Amino acid sequence: MFTIRDAVATDVPEILAMIRELADYERLSHQVVATTDSLTASLFGPNSCAQAMIAEVEGRPAGYALFFATFSSFVGRPGLFVEDVFVRPRFRRQGIGKEFFHRLAQRAIERDCGRMEFSVLDWNKPALDFYQTLGAVALTDWTIHRFTGESLLRLAE
C-alpha cells in the first residue's frame, strides 16, 4: 500500500534524486541543472512558484508529482500544469500514478481551474497509453515553443 502527501522542504533532496531518475529515463539527464537550493526556493521559498506531492511505500519515496498554476485567457480561469509525474520502476503498477492524477484533478477543481495540462514525449508510449486510459486528450494542433539559456538571454536584452 502507498500514501501520497504534500511535499515538505526536507523532501527536496529526494525529489531532486527522482528528477534525475526521470531525466535518465527520458534521455535528458544532460539538461538537469536543478539543485537542492533552486528547488527549495522554487517549492518552499517566499516566491515559490510550484508545489510537489510525494508518494511513499512503507516510508520509502516511491514517486513525486510537481505542478504549478497557469492561466487561460480563453477560459478566463486558472489552470494547473503538471510538470512531472514520476513513479520509480519498482513501485509501478500499484495505482500510484493514477492516484497522483486523481489528487491533481481534485486540486484543480478546488482551485476553480478550467483545465489541467501536461506534456509527454512523443516516443513515451507507456505514458501516452496510461494517460489515454485516464481520459486525457492529446492535442495535435498546438506546438510547444521554448526559450532557454542563450536564446532567453538574447530575447531579454
Radius of gyration in angstroms for the set of CA atoms belonging to the chain, rounded to a whole number: 16
Q: In what order do the strands lie in the sheet with 60-72?
A: 2-6, 51-57, 60-72, 77-87, 115-118
User: Per-residue b/e over 76-90, b at no fewer than 16 CB within 10 Å?
Assistant: eeebbbbebbbbbee
CA within 13 Å, CB half, 70:
15
52 within 8 A of 71, measured Cβ to Cβ: no
How big is the CA angle at 9 (ends 65 and 127), to the nearest 5 degrees?
Answer: 10
Alpha-helix runs per DSSP H in the chain: 12-25, 36-44, 96-110, 125-134, 149-156
- 64, 67, 101, 131: the active-site residue: 131
For residue 64, indicate whether it is catalytic: no
Residues known to be catalytic: 131
